[in-house]
Amino acid sequence: MFHKRSRKGLDMADVNGYTAARLGDMASSLKRLAQSFTEEMDGQHLTREDGAAALQTAAAMVCGGCSRCSLYQDAAQEDSYYLYYLLRAFEMNGAVRLEDMPLLFRQACYHKEKYLSQLNKSLGRATMNLSWKNRFLESRDAVIVQFRELAYIIEEFSRQMEQAVDITGEWELAVRAAFRRHRMAVEKMLILDYGNRQEEAYLTLRTTNNACFTAREAAGVLSQAMGRGKWNPARDTKAIVTRQPGTLRFAKEGKYQMLYGIAKMPKAGEEVSGDNYTFFKSLDGQAIMSLADGMGSGEAASRESMKVIELTEQLVEAGFSARSSLKLVNTVLLLAGKEQHPAAVDIICIDLHTGVLEAMKLGAVASFVVGKDGVELLEAGDVPIGILNPIEPVLLSKKLWDDDRIIMVSDGVLEAMPGEEKEMVMKDFLASLPPGRPKDMAEQILGFALSFGEDARDDMTVLVAGVWEREP
């Protein structure tokens, strides 16, 4: 809880507790709203009622007053299994054939072909309605997933607010004095400690002369004032401090820092790789590296994988967890249209304050962590994004240490390995590879993959990240 009392006499702990409670209520409401849509609806197969309606329609259109076979009356009886047989035959063959009909019908009916034609038309319409119904259910389930994920995000934010400690009072005098010496005035200030060495500060600043200061220069002043670690301006904050007051957001650097390297090669005959990747830092001190492998190769695959990468990055930067981001992106792709272009997605998040790695995989091949104790595999998931709903990413976790390396590859790299146990071949190679700069290691790994064939048989991408502890 916050412990600072504002100038108006309002206890910030009470404000924070009230806000957290209201957010908790909102999350509970969203969960109940999602629960209200969870009743099951039959929509996977044609039902007995669909078959009976098709038989009745065919009889009305063709039979008239004829009662030679009594097909509809016999099938409509509760103990009749013929309707189930008829529906399964239609689903398997795409049409009811003459040999699927009862012997009496084949012997007695004068209008067999006409009757079968009308019956298949009726079942075809029922199948079309079923298809739309199933599509509706998919959309409904996708919306439910969004409600649940939003509830989860709000709950996480509520817990974070409850855990946050306002430490402004401990540093207010020192911070104001430091900025005053650099010709900047602090009009408002809020410094929060979330634990795990994660801190952030909101400062409303203005210059006291005609000069301007960059946000990075202001972060340097804050670092000097607090004297315990380095602070950086957040990516979404203002870039310049001017005479007009403006609020800037700063985040304390984590214990760890990362460097990245990339090496890639498009499939032979293609100018554009279907793989896309990104490296960035989120607002809460997380370093994110992600790799998306679009289905196929070339420009179409590149567009699909880039869409996944961009959407995921936007959601993570907005405060969504990587898990929630993947599920929401999958929802977007499912609702975007009837054509589905799945992409294998691999996301690794490293907490720069604690060094804990979390990997989330959807259809992606194994990743590798190289450390002092050897090489560890982060196994893959099987379902690509944009194909099924609901999905649950494969979640893996590991503690990283100083000088560890993380290696992510697209499936084209692993598929180039000889033999059946391709992950083991790559693991043995990484164990023999001396640690070096991430860029150099990425190029060496790609060169090893290319050594098993004259041309790249698929898009190949290698991402390497190194983790190092900052100097105290």
What tens digit of pLDDT does each residue of 149-196 get? 778 777 777 777 777 788 899 999 999 999 999 999 999 999 988 776
Alpha carbon separation from 286 to 167, 258, 282, 308, 387 (Å, rounded): 22, 11, 5, 19, 28
Q: Which residues of 341-359 are buried (b: 16+ CB within 10 A; e: fewer)?
A: bbbbbbbbbbbbbbbbbbb
Amino acid symbol at 97: R
The model scores a pTM over 0.75? no
Q: Which residues of 7-46 are buried (b: 16+ CB within 10 A; e: fewer)?
A: eeeeebeeebeeebeebbeebeebbeebeeeeeeeebeeb
**Dist CA 63 CA 443 (whole Å):** 75
For residue range 285-307, list pLDDT tens digits in order: 789 999 998 887 888 888 888 88
Tens-level pLDDT at each residue, the chain (472 residues): 444 434 333 455 556 666 777 777 777 776 776 666 655 544 467 777 777 777 778 777 777 777 666 666 666 565 566 777 777 888 788 888 888 887 777 777 877 888 888 888 888 887 787 777 777 666 677 677 777 777 877 777 777 777 778 889 999 999 999 999 999 999 999 998 877 668 889 999 999 998 899 999 999 999 999 987 889 998 778 899 999 999 999 988 888 999 999 999 999 989 899 999 999 887 667 899 999 988 878 888 888 888 888 888 888 777 677 777 777 777 677 666 545 556 788 899 999 989 999 988 888 899 999 998 899 998 865 555 555 555 666 778 899 999 999 999 999 999 999 999 999 999 999 999 998 999 999 999 999 999 998 788 899 999 999 999 987 6
Asked if omega into 342 is within 30° of 0 (cis), the reply is no
Its CATH class, for the domain covering 256-469, is: alpha beta
Instruction: Burial-class residue 272 by CB neighbours within 10 Å (0-12, 13-18, 19+).
Output: middle
**Dist CA 116 CA 121 (whole Å):** 8
